[in-house]
Amino acid sequence: MSKGQSDKYTYHDAGVDIHTADDVVKIAKGKARKTFSPSVLSDIGVFGGLFELKGYDEPVLVSSADGVGTKAKIASAMGKHESIGIDIVNHCVNDIFTCGAKPLFFLDYVAMAKLDKDIISSLLEGMSAALQDTGCALIGGETAEMPGVYPPGEFDLVGFIVGVVEKRDIIDISKIVAGDALIGLPSSGLHTNGFSLVRHIFKTDADPNILNVEFSEIASTFGEALLKPHRCYFNSLNPLIDRIKGMAHITGGGIPGNLPRSLPDSLGAVIKKDSWDIPPLFKLIQKRGNVEELEMYSVFNMGIGMIAISSRHHTSDFLNIPGARLIGEVVNSEGKRIDIV
């Protein structure tokens, strides 16, 4: 029965539960405190997170924001959310690390039609674990209940990160020269890009049951392979930071779309695609969707999640990292051309 003019309306009638929001803040406090360092001067729940920056001569703050895209729909369909929390942290950490920055603090934004404490708790658990791995603090965030904007059971997740680097230590791509080595570090899967194409090819929205199929090409269900967390490269590459001239985080746009962002205008690159094994998941996607090779390399990371650029004589140092491969070299080029041969 609809309410008349004399009836009283509440926020709850409109689909927003303030009491659940309060409960979510309590959950967030417990997860966030695990990531705190002495530099964190505030608790979760205040209007602004406080972080004390000290110990630097000429600190430069490096910031970034990103989301997990439609990978969130796969997580919702499978009812598995913790890995998505890992995804958003590692994606953001990798982005600022390409400048040489150490992550300092992180904020999250979660939006859904109706706040679900279990989903949010799982997301925060994943974020907390990933943040602790890199010594980054979760100092705040926002949970938004938005009925009518998001379908029931689905959500959006965005992360905001701030890091720091000494001004003298900012990675300077102007030092890159022709002949420098391109070292590729393996991805764990699709990471957080290309899911709209995957969903289109496999019709996962119309029939989510396909996510439970065990294809012969992969050693898990299809959904489990898709939800493998975005890999973080900070701990592997940071010990070699003084030997790195540039880094390219291979996200949306693949190698052709991201490697040029880390090269001077007069240089390009030659990538040797037979220098690493393309993971079976990408081959399955290409075969099922009849996707052309160039399109695959322009959408997906194809098994390479980060490319480090270094002088040739340092190559062996990077190849001690598990799975690292010499995948190409920097060449003289007009327009930052990337040739995958």
DSSP 306: E
The dihedral formed by the CA atoms of 245, 251, 252 and 258, expressed in degrees to the nearest 10? 10
Q: What is the DSSP secondary-structure string of 223-268?
A: HHHHTPPPPP-HHHHGGGGGG-SEEEE--TTHHHHHGGGGS-TTEE
Asked if residue 268 lies in contact with residue 337, where contact means CB atoms within 8 angstroms, the answer is yes
Q: What is the pLDDT of residue 5?
A: 62
Q: In a structure prediction context, what are the per-residue pLDDT tens digits for the chain, which is 341 residues long?
A: 455 666 777 777 767 666 676 777 778 788 888 899 888 888 887 788 899 999 999 999 999 999 999 999 999 999 999 999 999 999 999 999 999 999 999 999 999 999 999 999 999 999 999 999 999 999 999 999 999 899 888 899 999 999 999 999 999 999 999 999 999 999 999 999 999 999 999 999 999 999 999 998 898 999 999 999 999 999 999 999 999 999 999 999 999 999 999 999 999 999 999 999 999 999 999 999 999 999 999 999 999 999 999 999 999 999 999 999 999 999 999 889 999 99
Q: What is the pLDDT of residue 175?
A: 96
Q: Which residue has the tokens 């294809």?
A: 215
3-class SS at 195? helix
Q: How far is CA 203 from the centre of its chain?
A: 24
> What is the Cα–Cα distance from 145 to 147, expressed in whole angstroms?
6
Question: What single-letter amino acid sits at 103?
Answer: P
Q: What is the pLDDT of residue 161?
A: 98
Q: What is the pLDDT of residue 6?
A: 63
Bridge partners of residue 181, in order along the sequence: 310, 329
Question: What single-letter amino acid sits at 229?
Answer: P
Asked if residue 195 lies in contact with residue 285, where contact means CB atoms within 8 angstroms, the answer is no
> What is the Cα–Cα distance from 291 to 284, expressed in whole angstroms?
10
Q: What is the pLDDT of residue 18?
A: 66
Q: What is the pLDDT of residue 139?
A: 94
Q: What is the pLDDT of residue 153?
A: 83
> What is the Cα–Cα distance from 195 to 252, expressed in whole angstroms?
10
Q: What is the pLDDT of residue 44?
A: 82
> What is the Cα–Cα distance from 73 to 126, expressed in whole angstroms?
17
Q: What is the pLDDT of residue 241?
A: 98
Give the pair of three-digit tokens for residue 119: 């989903």
> What is the Cα–Cα distance from 341 to 337, expressed in whole angstroms?
13
Q: What is the pLDDT of residue 37?
A: 87
> What is the Cα–Cα distance from 198 to 278, expressed in whole angstroms?
17
Q: Which residue has the tokens 């969707």?
A: 289
Give the pair of three-digit tokens for residue 25: 């803040």
Give the pair of three-digit tokens for residue 223: 């959904």
Domains of the chain, start order: 12-169 (3.30.1330.10), 173-340 (3.90.650.10)
DSSP 170: S
Q: What is the pLDDT of residue 25?
A: 74
